[in-house]
Amino acid sequence: MTKPDLLMTGPMMQTIQDQLAQRFTLHKLWEAADKEALLRQLAPSVVAFASGSHVSCDPALMGRFPGLKIVSSFGVGYDHVDAAWAGQNGIVVTNTPDVLNEEVADTALGLLLCTMRQFPQTDRYLRAGKWLEKPYPLTGTLRDRKVGILGLGRIGKAIARRLEAFGLPVVYHGRSAQPDVAYRYYPSLVEMARDVNVLMIVAPGGAATSKIVNREVLEALGPDGVVINVGRGTVIDEAALVEALRKKTILSAGLDVFEDEPRVPAELIAMDHIVLFPHVGSASVHTRNAMAQLVVDNLVSWADGKGPLTPVSETPWPPTM
């Protein structure tokens, strides 16, 4: 029996490759000496993509494959895939939600603690032998902090539960109010920023959220304000953030994501009063294995005629058209 052709657009975990190779004829785009020649060769036969977040699955790429039916994406964010175009052209897109909620929420709280209490800096201080000279200076605190969450989705709610356990008030901003939550909703991001002193960003990327945390929002947050971002780097205007940190328009920032990863602005790297993580929100062995399995399970379920397990909202299953 001939296996269907699947294009893997970029390097993925070995467990994904091994399992998919059992069910599909697997083609690894990144290994091709002549990628253009491979794309031309596979154009008539490829029915499925497996994709990571650092390769753009835009109409120019997907449109080369008239038989393409499914794009299985690794990660909960899928702004690297033009899902709206895919849906309009009969292609289902899947992501890996839920299995990473708790891990990312843990990271968000860890990043907040590190930023407020300067734990990475205190570690460097001790290792440099400076504790022998004098105690580390006093730091900020989570006490008397109020947190505004930008993006109260699955991960945002998991973060909110942890914040409540810390005794911190929580409010939120998003596209619309959610009737099933007790937190106060702000229709205006600027107004929420004025009323909180921690802005926790969990929003997805894409055109709708591009640079919405801009100079006006940062100024509203104020000189005691802290920005934490575990969503997408594109949600923040990085130039405005650098300026706000340099001018002390806000107090500090903790960032796990950046606009042009893995390239991080030198101005941010040079600042010792902020905390920077290399996009490790879901990066534990346990959680990445669960995400990898969901990539595989979506493709296998589709190949078995059962439909995808976790289609994104732009490509519902079964199709509504």
Q: What is the pLDDT of residues 125-176, one digit of tens each?
A: 999 999 999 999 999 999 999 999 999 999 999 999 999 999 999 999 999 9
Q: Which residues of 190-206 are buried (b: 16+ CB within 10 A; e: fewer)?
A: eebbbebbbbbbbbbbb
279 is catalytic: yes
Catalytic residue among 232, 238, 259, 288: 232
Query: Kind and range of the H or E element at 40?
Result: helix 35-42
Shared-domain flag, residues 214 and 106: yes
Where residue 231 falls among pLDDT bands split at 50, 70, 90? very high
The stretch 225-240 carries a mean pLDDT of 98
For residue 261, indicate whether it is catalytic.
yes
Identify the active-site residue in 175, 261, 273, 286.
Answer: 261
Residue-wise over 312-321: b if at least 16 C-beta within 10 A, else e?
bebbebeeee
Give the per-residue pLDDT at 54. Answer: 79
Kindly state whether residue 77 falls inside one of the protein's structural domains.
yes
* One domain, residues 164 and 186: yes
Domain assignment present for 313: no
Amino acid at 311: P
The reported pLDDT for the residue numbered 126 is: 98
For residue 232, indicate whether it is catalytic: yes
Whether the pLDDT of residue 321 is over 60: the answer is no
Residue 18 belongs to domain spanning:
5-98+286-303
> Does 320 map to a domain?
no
Do residues 77 and 139 share a domain? Answer: no
Distances (CA, A) of 155 to 108, 216, 272: 10, 26, 28
Write out pLDDT tens, residues 52-87: 987 899 999 999 999 999 999 999 999 999 999 999
Instruction: List all residues 6 or more positions away from 120 whose beta carbon is below 8 Å from its beta carbon.
Output: 114, 275
Give the confidence band of 292 by pLDDT, cuts at 50, 70, 90. Answer: very high
169 and 108 in a common domain: yes
CA 196 to chain centre: 23
- Would residue 52 count as lying in a domain? yes
pLDDT in the model for residue 320:
73
Residue 120 shares a structural domain with residue 233: yes
- Quick one: the chain helix, strand, coil %, rounded to 5? 40, 15, 45
Is residue 44 within 8 A of residue 7, CB to CB? The reply is no
Instruction: Please give the tally of structural domains in the chain.
Output: 2
Same domain? For 79 and 46 the reply is: yes
CB-CB contact of 245 with 252 (8 Å)? yes
> Is residue 163 domain-resident?
yes
Domain co-membership, 171 together with 53: no
C-alpha to C-alpha distance for 73 and 171, rounded to whole angstroms: 31
Return the H-helix or E-strand segment holding 18.
helix 14-23
One domain for residues 164 and 88: no
- The number of helices, as runs of H, and strands, as runs of E, in the chain is 12, 12
Q: Note whether 94 and 112 are same-domain residues.
A: no
Q: Which residues pair with 8 in a beta bridge?
A: 28, 50
* 107 in the same domain as 83: no
Alpha-carbon torsion angle 297, 300, 306, 307, nearest 10: 70
Domain for residue 316, yes or no?
no
CA angle 160, 115, 119 (to 5 degrees): 115
Paired with 57 in beta bridges are 81
Instruction: Check whether residue 138 and residue 247 sit in a common domain.
Output: yes
Structure tokens at 256: 């796990």
CATH of the domain at 146: 3.40.50.720
Same-domain pairing of 83 and 108: no
281 is a domain residue: no
Q: Report the C-alpha gap between 224 and 103 in whole angstroms.
A: 28
Tell whether 66 is covered by a domain.
Answer: yes
Alpha-carbon span 148 to 174, nearest angstrom: 11
Q: Which of 64, 117, 184, 279 is catalytic?
A: 279
